[in-house]
Structure 1
Amino acid sequence: MSYVAPKEFAVRMIDAGQSKAVMSTRDTLIRSYMAGAILALAAAFAVTVSVQTGQPLLGALLFPVGFCMLYLLGFDLLTGVFTLVPLAWLDRRPGVTIGSLLRNWGLVFLGNFAGALTTALLIAIVLTFGFSTPPDEIGQALGHIGEGRTVGYAEHGLAGMLTLFVRGVLCNWMVSTGVVGAMMSDSVPGKVIAMWMPIMLFFYMGFEHSVVNMFLFPIGLMLGGEFTLGDYLVWNELPTVAGNLVGGLTFVGLIIFVTHARTRPHRLVQYSDNNG
Structure 2
Amino acid sequence: MGTGDDGNDALRKTLTQGFNTQPTRGPTRNMENNDIPPRMTMNGGAVQLGLPMPKWPAGHHSAAFEAVAIKKSFVLSPAEIFAECAHHGEEKAKFPWYKITILCIIAGCYVSFGYTTCMLVGGMLNQAPGVGLAIEENYGLYKLIFGAVGFPFGFTAIIVCGGELYTSLCAYMMAAWWEGKVTVWDQLRMLLVSWWGNFVGCAIMAGLLCASEVYNHKSTTLIHVAYDKVSHGWGATFVKGIFANWLVGIATWQANAAQDLSGKAIGIWLPISAFAMIGFEHCIANQFLFLMAWAQGANITAEQFIWRNMIPATLGNWIGGAICLGTVYAFAFGRTPKLLGAWWDGKMKKN
Q: What TM-score range do you get, normalising by the shorter chain?
A: 0.7 to 0.9
**Structure 1 residue 215 corresponds to structure 2 residue 249:** no
In the other structure, the counterpart of 2:195 is 109
For 1:100, the aligned partner's letter is D
CA distance in 2, matches of 1:114, 1:239: 20
- The reply to whether residue 36 of structure 1 matches residue 36 of structure 2 is no
CA distance in 2, matches of 1:191, 1:262: 27
Counterpart CA distance in 2 for 1:9 and 1:141 is 38
Partner of 1:178: 251
CA distance in 2, matches of 1:59, 1:218: 19
For 2:121, the aligned partner's letter is V
Rate the CA distance shift 1:263–1:232 in 2: closer, same or farther, 3 A: closer
TM-aligned CA distance change 1:256 to 1:75, over 3 Å: same
Distance in 2 separating the partners of 1:264 and 1:81: 23
Deviation at 1:115, TM superposition (A): 0.3
Of 147, 151, 156, which residue of structure 1 is paired with 2:227? 147
2:213 paired residue number: 127
Deviation at 1:243, TM superposition (A): 0.3
| Identical counterparts, % of pairs | 26
Secondary structure in structure 2 of the residue aligned to 1:183: helix
CA deviations on 1:113-133 (whole Å, 9 max, x unpaired) are 00011111122222379xxxx
Partner of 2:44: none
Q: What pairs with 1:1-276 in structure 2 (closer than 5 Å)?
A: 2-54=74-126, 55-63=142-150, 64-93=152-181, 96-127=182-213, 135-136=216-217, 138-150=218-230, 152-153=231-232, 160-262=233-335
Structure 1 runs of 4+ with >6 Å offset: none
Give SS of 1:79's match. helix
Residue type of the alignment partner of 1:118: I
1:187 to partner: Cα distance: 0.9
Distance in 1 (CA, whole Å) between partners of 2:270 and 2:161 is 19
Q: Which amino acid aligns with 2:333?
A: H
2: CA distance, partners of 1:47 / 1:213: 13
Could you tell me whether the CA contact under 8 Å between 2:178 and 2:327 is conserved in 1?
Answer: no
* Higher relative contact order, structure no. (Cα contacts within 8 Å, ≥ 6 residues apart): 1
| In 2: Cα distance, 1:263 partner to 1:7 partner | 13
Cα distance, 1:53 vs. partner?
3.4
Does the Cα contact within 8 Å between 2:79 and 2:333 map onto a contact in 1? yes
**Structure 2: how far apart are the matches of 1:263 and 1:92?**
10
**Residue type matched to 1:115 in 2?**
G
Q: CA deviation at 1:4?
A: 1.1
Displacement of 1:92:
1.2
Task: Report deviation, 1:263.
Answer: 8.4
Amino acid at match of 1:19: E
TM-score (norm 2): 0.68
**Counterpart AA for 1:73:** C
Equivalent residue of 2:253, what SS? Answer: helix
Q: Offset at 1:214? A: 0.9
Following superposition, the deviation at residue 262 of structure 1 comes to: 3.8
For 1:237-264, what per-residue CA distance to the aligned partner results, in whole angstroms no more than 9, with x for missing partners? 1110000001111211112221122486
Higher alpha-carbon Rg: 2
Structure 2 Cα separation of the partners of residues 255 and 100 of structure 1: 20
Task: Report the counterpart of residue 132 of structure 1 in structure 2.
Answer: none
| Post-superposition CA distance 1:10-63 (Å, at most 9, x none) | 110100111111211101000010001111111010111112334231121112
Check whether the contact 1:78–1:108 (CA below 8 A) recurs between aligned residues: yes
User: How far 1:97 sits from its partner (Å)?
Assistant: 1.5
Q: Distance in 1 between matches of 2:82 and 2:155?
A: 21
Q: What letter matches 1:11 in structure 2?
A: A
Return the structure number with greater helix share. Answer: 1
Report the AA paired with residue 101 of structure 1: Q
Gaps of 5+ in 2: 1-72, 127-141, 339-351
Question: What letter matches 1:189 in structure 2?
Answer: S
User: Cα 1:38–1:128, aligned 2, differ >3 Å: closer, same or farther?
Assistant: closer
Does the 8 Å CA contact 1:145/1:220 hold for their aligned counterparts? no
- Matched residues, number: 250
Distance in 2 of aligned mates of 1:42 and 1:25: 26
**Cα deviations across residues 210-247 of structure 1 (Å, max 9, x unaligned)?**
11011000111111112112210111011100000011
Q: Deviations over 1:85-109 (max 9, x none)?
A: 122122112xx22112111111111
